[in-house]
Amino acid sequence: MIPRQITGRFTRDESALWKNGGMALYVVLRHPKRPDQVWSNGWRVDERLVDAIMTNGTVAPLCEQARRTDEYVYVHRCSWGGSAPEITCRARVSRVTPVGRDYLVSFTALQPLAAVPAVQPLQGDDYYFAAPPQGC
């Protein structure tokens, strides 16, 4: 069986952000303690680092592009139960694997951060592009 290829397309604006530099990909994840999880993500016990995420066909090609270009992906952990939203870490993508209709994105070279997000994603947003946090 031949593995399914990741065939997502960038919008013109997204590819320009990446191509012209200065912007980074942020994946938006629910706080691991939130009971109504959409995806099963590989959060570590510290709830700051994440080894892998399950995602959709929109985010997977962006992660694959980050893997190909060796760019960091930043993790935006949403607020929950008194915890403010936070950029908890950055990581490099080691692999993007199809799993049925979804994708498993595995990370490596995780670096903990504690940055205040400059962007407040709208409900339902899975990702966004923004400048990396200061000092990164």
Per-residue pLDDT tens digits of the chain, which is 136 residues long: 333 444 444 454 555 555 556 789 999 999 999 999 888 899 999 999 999 999 999 999 999 999 999 999 999 999 999 999 999 999 999 999 999 999 999 999 999 999 999 999 998 899 999 999 987 7
What CA–CA distance (Å, rounded) separates 67 from 70? Answer: 5
Sequence letter at residue 103: Y
Helices (H) and strands (E) in the chain, counts: 2, 6
Burial of 66 (0-12, 13-18, 19+ CB in 10 A): buried
Burial (0-12, 13-18, 19+ Cβ within 10 Å), 107: buried
Supply the pLDDT for residue 13. 54
Q: CA 55, CA 39: separation in Å to the nearest integer?
A: 7
pLDDT, residue 20, reads: 58
Q: Where are the alpha helices (DSSP H) in 47-87?
A: 59-69
The pLDDT value recorded for residue 73 is 97
What is the rounded CA–CA span in Å between residue 75 and residue 70?
Answer: 16
Q: Is 34 exposed, middle or buried (0-12, 13-18, 19+ CB in 10 A)?
A: middle
Q: What per-residue confidence (pLDDT) applies to 14?
A: 56
Q: What is the predicted pLDDT for the residue at 26?
A: 96
25, two tokens: 């990909």
